[in-house]
Structure 1
Amino acid sequence: MSVRTLQEFLASSKEKDVSGDAFELESPHMLEVRLDGLVWAKAGSMVARKGSVKFTRQGILEQGLGNLLKKMVSGEGMQLMKMEGQGRVYLADAGKKITLLRLGGESIFVNGNDVLAVESGVESRITMMRKVAGMLSGGLFNVRLSGSGIVAITSHYEPLTLPVNAQTGPVFTDPNATVAWSGGLTPEIITDISLGTLLGRGSGESVQLRFAGDGWVVVQPYEEVVFQVKD
Protein backbone atom coordinates (compact mmCIF):
# COMPACT_ATOMS: atom_id res chain seq x y z
CA MET A 1 0.00 0.00 0.00
CA SER A 2 1.42 3.35 -1.00
CA VAL A 3 2.02 6.03 1.60
CA ARG A 4 -0.15 9.13 1.24
CA THR A 5 0.52 12.61 2.46
CA LEU A 6 -1.78 14.01 5.12
CA GLN A 7 -3.37 16.30 2.54
CA GLU A 8 -4.04 13.38 0.19
CA PHE A 9 -5.67 11.38 2.97
CA LEU A 10 -7.88 14.27 4.04
CA ALA A 11 -8.95 14.92 0.45
CA SER A 12 -9.79 11.27 -0.28
CA SER A 13 -11.65 10.60 2.97
CA LYS A 14 -13.69 13.79 3.33
CA GLU A 15 -17.47 13.65 3.12
CA LYS A 16 -19.03 13.80 -0.32
CA ASP A 17 -22.17 15.61 -1.44
CA VAL A 18 -23.06 13.92 -4.70
CA SER A 19 -26.84 13.64 -4.57
CA GLY A 20 -29.63 15.69 -3.08
CA ASP A 21 -31.20 12.70 -1.35
CA ALA A 22 -31.59 12.50 2.41
CA PHE A 23 -29.53 9.30 2.41
CA GLU A 24 -26.10 9.19 0.80
CA LEU A 25 -23.32 6.63 1.04
CA GLU A 26 -20.02 8.15 2.08
CA SER A 27 -18.48 4.72 1.56
CA PRO A 28 -19.88 1.18 1.16
CA HIS A 29 -19.88 0.98 4.97
CA MET A 30 -20.89 4.51 6.06
CA LEU A 31 -24.25 6.25 5.58
CA GLU A 32 -24.80 9.98 5.81
CA VAL A 33 -28.34 11.08 6.72
CA ARG A 34 -29.18 14.69 5.89
CA LEU A 35 -31.74 15.14 8.61
CA ASP A 36 -34.55 17.64 8.23
CA GLY A 37 -37.38 16.27 10.30
CA LEU A 38 -37.54 12.64 11.40
CA VAL A 39 -35.71 9.44 10.43
CA TRP A 40 -35.73 6.03 12.13
CA ALA A 41 -32.34 4.35 12.56
CA LYS A 42 -30.94 1.27 14.23
CA ALA A 43 -30.20 1.97 17.88
CA GLY A 44 -26.50 2.43 18.50
CA SER A 45 -25.59 2.93 14.83
CA MET A 46 -24.56 6.61 15.07
CA VAL A 47 -20.81 7.20 14.73
CA ALA A 48 -20.85 11.01 14.29
CA ARG A 49 -23.26 13.93 13.89
CA LYS A 50 -23.45 17.63 13.14
CA GLY A 51 -26.21 20.12 13.82
CA SER A 52 -29.17 20.06 16.19
CA VAL A 53 -30.28 16.45 16.45
CA LYS A 54 -32.32 14.75 19.17
CA PHE A 55 -32.09 11.00 19.64
CA THR A 56 -34.87 9.07 21.36
CA ARG A 57 -34.47 5.38 22.01
CA GLN A 58 -37.86 3.83 21.39
CA GLY A 59 -39.34 0.60 22.67
CA ILE A 60 -40.90 -1.80 20.24
CA LEU A 61 -44.35 -0.83 21.51
CA GLU A 62 -44.11 2.42 19.56
CA GLN A 63 -43.89 0.31 16.42
CA GLY A 64 -47.31 -1.11 17.17
CA LEU A 65 -46.53 -4.46 18.83
CA GLY A 66 -48.15 -5.91 21.95
CA ASN A 67 -46.52 -6.70 25.27
CA LEU A 68 -46.36 -10.41 24.55
CA LEU A 69 -44.35 -9.99 21.35
CA LYS A 70 -42.12 -7.43 23.02
CA LYS A 71 -41.19 -9.99 25.65
CA MET A 72 -40.52 -12.63 22.99
CA VAL A 73 -38.02 -10.48 21.14
CA SER A 74 -34.56 -10.20 22.64
CA GLY A 75 -31.35 -8.49 21.66
CA GLU A 76 -30.38 -4.97 20.71
CA GLY A 77 -30.52 -5.50 16.95
CA MET A 78 -34.29 -5.09 16.93
CA GLN A 79 -34.46 -1.68 18.57
CA LEU A 80 -34.77 1.52 16.58
CA MET A 81 -34.05 5.09 17.60
CA LYS A 82 -35.84 8.20 16.44
CA MET A 83 -33.60 10.96 15.06
CA GLU A 84 -35.24 14.39 14.93
CA GLY A 85 -34.02 17.87 14.02
CA GLN A 86 -31.75 19.41 11.44
CA GLY A 87 -28.22 18.27 10.77
CA ARG A 88 -26.17 15.39 9.49
CA VAL A 89 -25.89 12.00 11.11
CA TYR A 90 -23.39 9.32 10.11
CA LEU A 91 -24.44 5.71 10.61
CA ALA A 92 -22.64 2.37 10.42
CA ASP A 93 -23.16 -1.16 11.70
CA ALA A 94 -20.08 -3.25 12.47
CA GLY A 95 -18.52 -2.43 9.09
CA LYS A 96 -21.31 -4.19 7.18
CA LYS A 97 -22.02 -3.25 3.57
CA ILE A 98 -24.88 -0.76 3.20
CA THR A 99 -27.38 -0.89 0.34
CA LEU A 100 -29.83 1.94 -0.37
CA LEU A 101 -33.21 1.03 -1.83
CA ARG A 102 -35.78 3.53 -3.07
CA LEU A 103 -39.33 2.24 -2.59
CA GLY A 104 -42.02 3.58 -4.87
CA GLY A 105 -45.06 1.98 -3.33
CA GLU A 106 -43.59 -1.54 -3.13
CA SER A 107 -43.26 -3.58 0.04
CA ILE A 108 -40.31 -5.69 1.12
CA PHE A 109 -39.41 -7.76 4.15
CA VAL A 110 -36.01 -7.28 5.79
CA ASN A 111 -34.37 -9.28 8.56
CA GLY A 112 -34.78 -7.10 11.65
CA ASN A 113 -31.05 -7.05 12.34
CA ASP A 114 -30.32 -5.71 8.84
CA VAL A 115 -32.44 -2.54 8.93
CA LEU A 116 -30.11 0.46 9.34
CA ALA A 117 -32.31 3.50 8.56
CA VAL A 118 -35.76 4.30 7.18
CA GLU A 119 -37.14 7.59 5.85
CA SER A 120 -40.30 8.84 7.53
CA GLY A 121 -42.38 8.23 4.39
CA VAL A 122 -41.82 4.48 4.68
CA GLU A 123 -44.06 2.51 7.02
CA SER A 124 -42.41 -0.20 9.09
CA ARG A 125 -44.22 -3.09 10.74
CA ILE A 126 -42.39 -5.67 12.83
CA THR A 127 -43.54 -9.27 12.61
CA MET A 128 -42.30 -12.54 14.03
CA MET A 129 -42.26 -16.05 12.63
CA ARG A 130 -43.98 -17.69 15.56
CA LYS A 131 -43.06 -21.25 14.61
CA VAL A 132 -39.38 -20.33 14.66
CA ALA A 133 -39.77 -18.83 18.13
CA GLY A 134 -40.15 -22.32 19.55
CA MET A 135 -36.96 -23.58 17.89
CA LEU A 136 -34.58 -20.64 17.92
CA SER A 137 -33.49 -18.61 20.92
CA GLY A 138 -35.13 -15.21 20.52
CA GLY A 139 -37.25 -16.32 17.57
CA LEU A 140 -36.92 -14.76 14.13
CA PHE A 141 -38.28 -11.28 13.49
CA ASN A 142 -38.47 -9.27 10.31
CA VAL A 143 -39.64 -5.83 9.30
CA ARG A 144 -42.15 -5.14 6.55
CA LEU A 145 -41.21 -1.87 4.83
CA SER A 146 -43.73 -0.28 2.50
CA GLY A 147 -44.53 3.09 0.98
CA SER A 148 -42.37 5.69 -0.72
CA GLY A 149 -38.89 6.66 0.35
CA ILE A 150 -35.36 5.37 0.85
CA VAL A 151 -34.39 2.55 3.19
CA ALA A 152 -30.87 1.48 4.13
CA ILE A 153 -30.23 -2.21 4.73
CA THR A 154 -26.99 -3.97 5.65
CA SER A 155 -25.29 -7.23 4.77
CA HIS A 156 -22.00 -8.93 5.41
CA TYR A 157 -20.10 -8.56 2.13
CA GLU A 158 -21.85 -8.53 -1.26
CA PRO A 159 -25.45 -9.77 -1.18
CA LEU A 160 -26.87 -12.19 -3.75
CA THR A 161 -30.44 -11.95 -5.07
CA LEU A 162 -32.07 -15.23 -6.08
CA PRO A 163 -35.25 -15.24 -8.19
CA VAL A 164 -38.22 -17.23 -6.94
CA ASN A 165 -40.71 -18.46 -9.53
CA ALA A 166 -42.48 -21.56 -10.81
CA GLN A 167 -39.74 -22.30 -13.36
CA THR A 168 -36.85 -22.36 -10.90
CA GLY A 169 -38.84 -23.89 -8.06
CA PRO A 170 -38.62 -23.00 -4.36
CA VAL A 171 -35.51 -21.49 -2.80
CA PHE A 172 -34.28 -22.68 0.61
CA THR A 173 -32.14 -20.39 2.78
CA ASP A 174 -30.43 -20.39 6.15
CA PRO A 175 -32.27 -17.92 8.45
CA ASN A 176 -28.95 -16.49 9.62
CA ALA A 177 -27.89 -15.75 6.02
CA THR A 178 -31.23 -14.35 4.81
CA VAL A 179 -31.28 -10.56 4.43
CA ALA A 180 -34.52 -9.63 2.63
CA TRP A 181 -37.30 -10.84 0.36
CA SER A 182 -40.08 -9.43 -1.78
CA GLY A 183 -43.33 -8.43 -0.11
CA GLY A 184 -45.42 -11.03 -1.94
CA LEU A 185 -43.54 -14.00 -0.49
CA THR A 186 -44.27 -15.76 2.78
CA PRO A 187 -41.43 -18.03 3.91
CA GLU A 188 -42.25 -21.45 5.30
CA ILE A 189 -40.24 -22.90 8.16
CA ILE A 190 -38.61 -26.22 7.23
CA THR A 191 -36.94 -28.48 9.78
CA ASP A 192 -34.68 -31.28 8.64
CA ILE A 193 -34.38 -33.65 11.57
CA SER A 194 -32.00 -36.02 9.80
CA LEU A 195 -29.69 -33.18 8.82
CA GLY A 196 -29.85 -31.79 12.34
CA THR A 197 -28.88 -35.18 13.72
CA LEU A 198 -26.03 -35.51 11.24
CA LEU A 199 -24.55 -32.08 11.84
CA GLY A 200 -25.38 -31.76 15.52
CA ARG A 201 -28.48 -30.20 17.06
CA GLY A 202 -26.78 -26.80 17.20
CA SER A 203 -26.45 -26.62 13.43
CA GLY A 204 -28.42 -23.81 11.80
CA GLU A 205 -28.91 -25.85 8.63
CA SER A 206 -31.47 -28.02 10.43
CA VAL A 207 -33.84 -25.01 10.30
CA GLN A 208 -34.39 -23.46 6.87
CA LEU A 209 -36.70 -20.96 5.18
CA ARG A 210 -38.56 -22.14 2.08
CA PHE A 211 -39.58 -19.46 -0.42
CA ALA A 212 -42.09 -20.36 -3.13
CA GLY A 213 -44.23 -18.25 -5.45
CA ASP A 214 -43.18 -15.26 -7.51
CA GLY A 215 -40.54 -12.86 -6.21
CA TRP A 216 -36.96 -12.80 -4.96
CA VAL A 217 -34.88 -13.41 -1.85
CA VAL A 218 -31.55 -11.81 -0.85
CA VAL A 219 -28.86 -13.76 0.98
CA GLN A 220 -25.40 -12.85 2.24
CA PRO A 221 -22.22 -14.97 2.15
CA TYR A 222 -22.13 -15.05 5.93
CA GLU A 223 -24.14 -16.73 8.67
CA GLU A 224 -24.80 -14.05 11.26
CA VAL A 225 -25.58 -16.02 14.38
CA VAL A 226 -28.25 -13.83 15.90
CA PHE A 227 -30.48 -16.81 16.61
CA GLN A 228 -29.31 -20.12 18.04
CA VAL A 229 -31.07 -23.44 17.60
CA LYS A 230 -32.43 -24.59 20.94
CA ASP A 231 -31.40 -27.99 22.26
Structure 2
Amino acid sequence: MGNYTIDEFIQQTKQDEQENDYFELETPRILEVNLLEMVWAKAGSMISYTGQIKFERERLLEHGVGVMFKKAMTGEGASLMKATGRGRLYLADQGKKITIFELNGESITVNGNDLLAFEPGIEWEIKMMRKVAGMMAGGLFNVTLKGKGRVAITSHYEPLTLLVKPGEPVITDPGATVAWSGDLTPEFRTDISIRTFLGRGSGESIQMEFSGEGFVIVQPFEEKYAAPNVSV
Protein backbone atom coordinates (compact mmCIF):
# COMPACT_ATOMS: atom_id res chain seq x y z
CA MET A 1 0.00 0.00 0.00
CA GLY A 2 1.32 3.49 -0.85
CA ASN A 3 1.42 6.59 1.32
CA TYR A 4 -1.87 8.32 2.11
CA THR A 5 -3.05 11.40 3.90
CA ILE A 6 -5.71 10.53 6.49
CA ASP A 7 -8.45 11.87 4.21
CA GLU A 8 -7.14 9.89 1.22
CA PHE A 9 -7.04 6.69 3.27
CA ILE A 10 -10.61 7.20 4.48
CA GLN A 11 -11.84 7.78 0.92
CA GLN A 12 -9.99 4.68 -0.29
CA THR A 13 -11.18 2.30 2.45
CA LYS A 14 -14.49 3.64 3.80
CA GLN A 15 -17.67 1.58 3.79
CA ASP A 16 -20.07 1.76 0.88
CA GLU A 17 -22.96 4.00 1.98
CA GLN A 18 -25.28 2.99 -0.87
CA GLU A 19 -28.18 0.60 -0.36
CA ASN A 20 -26.82 -2.81 -1.22
CA ASP A 21 -28.03 -6.38 -1.58
CA TYR A 22 -28.74 -8.52 1.46
CA PHE A 23 -25.22 -9.98 1.13
CA GLU A 24 -22.53 -7.72 -0.32
CA LEU A 25 -18.74 -7.98 -0.42
CA GLU A 26 -17.48 -4.82 1.23
CA THR A 27 -13.95 -6.06 0.51
CA PRO A 28 -12.83 -9.49 -0.73
CA ARG A 29 -12.50 -10.55 2.93
CA ILE A 30 -15.34 -8.66 4.65
CA LEU A 31 -19.02 -9.53 4.14
CA GLU A 32 -21.65 -6.82 4.61
CA VAL A 33 -25.10 -8.09 5.57
CA ASN A 34 -27.87 -5.52 5.14
CA LEU A 35 -29.97 -7.01 7.89
CA LEU A 36 -33.74 -6.60 7.92
CA GLU A 37 -34.76 -9.54 10.08
CA MET A 38 -32.36 -12.42 10.74
CA VAL A 39 -29.24 -14.16 9.43
CA TRP A 40 -27.26 -17.22 10.48
CA ALA A 41 -23.50 -16.63 10.73
CA LYS A 42 -20.43 -18.43 11.98
CA ALA A 43 -19.99 -17.84 15.71
CA GLY A 44 -17.34 -15.23 16.36
CA SER A 45 -17.37 -13.82 12.82
CA MET A 46 -18.86 -10.39 13.68
CA ILE A 47 -16.28 -7.61 13.38
CA SER A 48 -18.63 -4.57 13.42
CA TYR A 49 -22.23 -3.48 13.03
CA THR A 50 -24.49 -0.45 12.97
CA GLY A 51 -28.15 -0.30 13.94
CA GLN A 52 -30.07 -2.43 16.42
CA ILE A 53 -28.80 -6.02 16.16
CA LYS A 54 -28.96 -8.76 18.78
CA PHE A 55 -26.67 -11.80 18.76
CA GLU A 56 -27.50 -15.23 20.16
CA ARG A 57 -25.51 -18.44 20.08
CA GLU A 58 -27.26 -21.34 18.39
CA ARG A 59 -29.02 -23.45 20.99
CA LEU A 60 -28.91 -27.22 21.00
CA LEU A 61 -32.65 -27.53 20.30
CA GLU A 62 -32.74 -24.65 17.81
CA HIS A 63 -33.16 -26.95 14.81
CA GLY A 64 -34.96 -29.89 16.32
CA VAL A 65 -34.08 -33.14 18.01
CA GLY A 66 -32.44 -34.68 14.93
CA VAL A 67 -29.71 -32.05 14.70
CA MET A 68 -29.32 -32.04 18.48
CA PHE A 69 -28.85 -35.82 18.48
CA LYS A 70 -26.15 -35.64 15.81
CA LYS A 71 -24.25 -32.99 17.75
CA ALA A 72 -24.57 -34.70 21.11
CA MET A 73 -23.49 -38.10 19.82
CA THR A 74 -20.60 -36.95 17.67
CA GLY A 75 -19.33 -33.85 19.41
CA GLU A 76 -19.39 -32.14 16.04
CA GLY A 77 -21.40 -29.28 14.64
CA ALA A 78 -21.21 -25.96 12.87
CA SER A 79 -20.92 -23.35 15.64
CA LEU A 80 -23.47 -20.74 14.55
CA MET A 81 -24.88 -17.51 15.89
CA LYS A 82 -28.19 -15.87 15.06
CA ALA A 83 -28.18 -12.12 14.36
CA THR A 84 -31.60 -10.46 14.48
CA GLY A 85 -32.70 -6.87 14.00
CA ARG A 86 -32.08 -4.10 11.49
CA GLY A 87 -28.75 -2.62 10.50
CA ARG A 88 -25.49 -3.33 8.75
CA LEU A 89 -23.52 -6.30 9.94
CA TYR A 90 -19.90 -6.94 8.94
CA LEU A 91 -18.55 -10.48 9.06
CA ALA A 92 -15.08 -11.95 8.50
CA ASP A 93 -13.15 -15.10 9.36
CA GLN A 94 -9.39 -14.92 9.89
CA GLY A 95 -8.86 -12.85 6.76
CA LYS A 96 -10.11 -15.63 4.49
CA LYS A 97 -11.45 -14.78 1.04
CA ILE A 98 -15.26 -14.73 0.83
CA THR A 99 -17.42 -16.09 -1.98
CA ILE A 100 -21.19 -15.50 -2.19
CA PHE A 101 -23.47 -18.01 -3.91
CA GLU A 102 -27.10 -17.38 -4.77
CA LEU A 103 -28.94 -20.68 -4.68
CA ASN A 104 -31.95 -21.09 -6.94
CA GLY A 105 -33.11 -24.52 -5.88
CA GLU A 106 -29.62 -26.04 -6.07
CA SER A 107 -27.73 -27.51 -3.16
CA ILE A 108 -24.12 -27.17 -2.06
CA THR A 109 -22.20 -28.95 0.68
CA VAL A 110 -19.67 -26.85 2.60
CA ASN A 111 -16.92 -27.88 4.99
CA GLY A 112 -18.27 -26.78 8.38
CA ASN A 113 -15.23 -24.61 9.06
CA ASP A 114 -15.69 -22.71 5.78
CA LEU A 115 -19.34 -21.70 6.16
CA LEU A 116 -19.59 -17.97 7.00
CA ALA A 117 -23.29 -17.03 6.69
CA PHE A 118 -26.58 -17.90 5.02
CA GLU A 119 -30.08 -16.49 4.72
CA PRO A 120 -32.71 -17.89 7.11
CA GLY A 121 -34.81 -19.29 4.24
CA ILE A 122 -32.07 -21.76 3.30
CA GLU A 123 -32.60 -25.36 4.45
CA TRP A 124 -29.52 -26.93 6.00
CA GLU A 125 -28.40 -30.21 7.48
CA ILE A 126 -25.23 -31.23 9.29
CA LYS A 127 -23.68 -34.36 7.83
CA MET A 128 -20.96 -36.34 9.54
CA MET A 129 -17.98 -37.89 7.81
CA ARG A 130 -18.00 -40.89 10.12
CA LYS A 131 -15.45 -42.91 8.16
CA VAL A 132 -12.83 -40.24 8.69
CA ALA A 133 -13.67 -39.40 12.30
CA GLY A 134 -11.15 -41.81 13.75
CA MET A 135 -8.40 -40.87 11.29
CA MET A 136 -8.14 -37.13 11.96
CA ALA A 137 -8.19 -35.22 15.24
CA GLY A 138 -11.79 -34.22 15.78
CA GLY A 139 -12.89 -35.75 12.50
CA LEU A 140 -14.71 -33.71 9.87
CA PHE A 141 -18.25 -32.47 9.38
CA ASN A 142 -20.00 -30.61 6.62
CA VAL A 143 -23.22 -28.71 6.08
CA THR A 144 -25.52 -29.28 3.10
CA LEU A 145 -27.51 -26.17 2.15
CA LYS A 146 -30.35 -26.05 -0.34
CA GLY A 147 -33.24 -23.89 -1.45
CA LYS A 148 -33.40 -20.27 -2.52
CA GLY A 149 -31.19 -17.56 -1.06
CA ARG A 150 -27.61 -16.52 -0.48
CA VAL A 151 -24.79 -18.47 1.12
CA ALA A 152 -21.34 -17.04 1.94
CA ILE A 153 -18.34 -19.36 2.22
CA THR A 154 -14.66 -18.70 2.95
CA SER A 155 -11.37 -19.99 1.61
CA HIS A 156 -7.72 -19.39 2.30
CA TYR A 157 -6.50 -17.44 -0.75
CA GLU A 158 -7.99 -17.99 -4.22
CA PRO A 159 -10.26 -21.05 -4.56
CA LEU A 160 -10.06 -23.46 -7.49
CA THR A 161 -13.09 -25.32 -8.86
CA LEU A 162 -12.49 -28.82 -10.19
CA LEU A 163 -15.10 -30.41 -12.46
CA VAL A 164 -16.11 -33.98 -11.67
CA LYS A 165 -17.11 -35.97 -14.76
CA PRO A 166 -18.45 -39.51 -15.12
CA GLY A 167 -15.52 -41.91 -15.16
CA GLU A 168 -13.11 -39.14 -14.10
CA PRO A 169 -13.11 -39.00 -10.29
CA VAL A 170 -11.40 -36.11 -8.49
CA ILE A 171 -9.18 -36.83 -5.47
CA THR A 172 -8.63 -34.10 -2.85
CA ASP A 173 -6.97 -33.57 0.52
CA PRO A 174 -9.68 -33.14 3.22
CA GLY A 175 -7.93 -30.12 4.73
CA ALA A 176 -7.88 -28.33 1.36
CA THR A 177 -11.48 -29.19 0.39
CA VAL A 178 -13.88 -26.26 0.85
CA ALA A 179 -17.19 -27.27 -0.80
CA TRP A 180 -18.80 -29.44 -3.45
CA SER A 181 -22.05 -29.75 -5.35
CA GLY A 182 -24.78 -31.22 -3.20
CA ASP A 183 -25.39 -34.29 -5.34
CA LEU A 184 -21.83 -35.58 -4.83
CA THR A 185 -20.97 -37.89 -1.94
CA PRO A 186 -17.26 -38.24 -1.23
CA GLU A 187 -15.66 -41.57 -0.39
CA PHE A 188 -12.65 -41.71 1.89
CA ARG A 189 -9.62 -43.81 1.23
CA THR A 190 -6.21 -44.30 2.80
CA ASP A 191 -3.09 -44.29 0.68
CA ILE A 192 -0.87 -46.92 2.29
CA SER A 193 2.31 -45.78 0.55
CA ILE A 194 1.85 -42.15 1.69
CA ARG A 195 0.89 -43.34 5.17
CA THR A 196 4.10 -45.38 5.38
CA PHE A 197 6.20 -42.49 4.11
CA LEU A 198 4.78 -39.81 6.39
CA GLY A 199 4.15 -41.85 9.50
CA ARG A 200 1.21 -43.66 10.97
CA GLY A 201 -0.50 -40.61 12.49
CA SER A 202 -0.31 -38.36 9.45
CA GLY A 203 -3.57 -36.99 8.11
CA GLU A 204 -1.97 -36.74 4.66
CA SER A 205 -2.75 -40.42 4.14
CA ILE A 206 -6.49 -39.69 4.00
CA GLN A 207 -7.98 -38.70 0.68
CA MET A 208 -11.46 -37.71 -0.51
CA GLU A 209 -12.66 -39.19 -3.78
CA PHE A 210 -15.53 -37.55 -5.68
CA SER A 211 -17.20 -39.58 -8.43
CA GLY A 212 -20.15 -38.78 -10.67
CA GLU A 213 -20.94 -35.36 -12.07
CA GLY A 214 -20.54 -32.01 -10.33
CA PHE A 215 -17.81 -29.80 -8.94
CA VAL A 216 -15.40 -29.58 -6.01
CA ILE A 217 -13.92 -26.33 -4.63
CA VAL A 218 -10.41 -26.53 -3.14
CA GLN A 219 -8.04 -23.98 -1.61
CA PRO A 220 -4.22 -23.72 -1.70
CA PHE A 221 -4.02 -24.34 2.03
CA GLU A 222 -4.47 -27.31 4.36
CA GLU A 223 -6.60 -26.64 7.41
CA LYS A 224 -5.83 -28.58 10.55
CA TYR A 225 -8.74 -29.81 12.60
CA ALA A 226 -9.17 -30.06 16.33
CA ALA A 227 -12.11 -31.41 18.29
CA PRO A 228 -14.81 -28.70 18.35
CA ASN A 229 -17.09 -27.74 21.21
CA VAL A 230 -20.85 -28.19 21.06
CA SER A 231 -22.95 -25.06 21.64
CA VAL A 232 -25.55 -25.32 24.38
TM-score by length of 1: 0.92
Compute the displacement of 1:107 (Å): 0.3
Partner residue in 1 for 2:82: 82
What secondary structure, in the 3-state scheme, does the structure 2 residue paired with 1:66 have? helix
- Count how many residue pairs are aligned between Structure 1 and Structure 2: 225
Q: Which runs of 5+ in 2 are unaligned?
A: 228-232
Partner residue in 1 for 2:7: 7
**Is 2:122–2:146's contact at 8 Å kept on the other side of the alignment?**
yes
Instruction: Give the Cα separation in 1 of the matches to 2:2 and 2:31.
Output: 27
* 1:26 maps to 2:26: yes
Partner residue in 1 for 2:101: 101
Instruction: Give the Cα separation in 2 of the matches to 1:8 and 1:185.
Output: 48
Compute the displacement of 1:113 (Å): 0.3
**Is 2:56–2:83's contact at 8 Å kept on the other side of the alignment?**
yes
Q: Which runs of 5+ in 1 are unaligned?
A: none
Compute the displacement of 1:84 (Å): 0.4
Compute the displacement of 1:41 (Å): 0.2
Instruction: Give the Cα separation in 1 of the matches to 2:190 and 2:59.
Output: 32
Going from structure 1 to structure 2, the CA distance change for 1:14 and 1:226 (only over 3 Å counts) comes to same
**Is 1:103–1:149's contact at 8 Å kept on the other side of the alignment?**
yes
Instruction: Give the Cα separation in 1 of the matches to 2:138 and 2:107.
Output: 25
Instruction: Compare 3-12 and 14-23 and name the one that shifted more.
Output: 14-23
Compute the displacement of 1:19 (Å): 6.4
What secondary structure, in the 3-state scheme, does the structure 1 residue paired with 2:10 have? helix
Going from structure 1 to structure 2, the CA distance change for 1:204 and 1:2 (only over 3 Å counts) comes to same
Instruction: Give the Cα separation in 2 of the matches to 1:161 and 1:60.
Output: 34
Instruction: Give the Cα separation in 2 of the matches to 1:214 and 1:227.
Output: 31
Partner residue in 1 for 2:230: none
Going from structure 1 to structure 2, the CA distance change for 1:219 and 1:158 (only over 3 Å counts) comes to same
Instruction: Give the Cα separation in 2 of the matches to 1:116 and 1:163.
Output: 24
Instruction: Compare 198-207 and 11-20 and name the one that shifted more.
Output: 11-20
Instruction: Give the Cα separation in 2 of the matches to 1:160 and 1:61.
Output: 36
Partner residue in 2 for 1:38: 38
Instruction: Give the Cα separation in 1 of the matches to 2:192 and 2:19.
Output: 51
Going from structure 1 to structure 2, the CA distance change for 1:152 and 1:18 (only over 3 Å counts) comes to farther
**Is 1:107–1:144's contact at 8 Å kept on the other side of the alignment?**
yes
What secondary structure, in the 3-state scheme, does the structure 2 residue paired with 1:190 have? strand
**Is 1:63–1:124's contact at 8 Å kept on the other side of the alignment?**
no
**Is 2:78–2:126's contact at 8 Å kept on the other side of the alignment?**
no
Q: How does 1:1-231 map to 2 (within 5 A)?
A: 1-17=1-17, 20-64=20-64, 65-67=67-69, 69-74=71-76, 78-166=78-166, 169-227=168-226
Compute the displacement of 1:14 (Å): 0.8
Instruction: Compare 193-202 and 16-25 and name the one that shifted more.
Output: 16-25
List 4+ stretches of structure 1 deviating above 4 A.
none
Instruction: Give the Cα separation in 2 of the matches to 1:7 and 1:213.
Output: 54
What secondary structure, in the 3-state scheme, does the structure 1 residue paired with 2:157 have? coil
What secondary structure, in the 3-state scheme, does the structure 2 residue paired with 1:198 have? helix
Going from structure 1 to structure 2, the CA distance change for 1:68 and 1:23 (only over 3 Å counts) comes to closer
Compute the displacement of 1:120 (Å): 1.2
Residue 107 of structure 1 aligns with an amino acid whose one-letter code is: S
Going from structure 1 to structure 2, the CA distance change for 1:63 and 1:137 (only over 3 Å counts) comes to farther
- Structure of higher RCO (CA pairs closer than 8 Å, 6+ residues apart): 2
Residue 40 of structure 2 aligns with an amino acid whose one-letter code is: W
**Is 1:140–1:227's contact at 8 Å kept on the other side of the alignment?**
no
What secondary structure, in the 3-state scheme, does the structure 1 residue paired with 2:195 have? helix
Deviations 1:60-87 (A, max 9, x none): 542341335334235xx82000000101
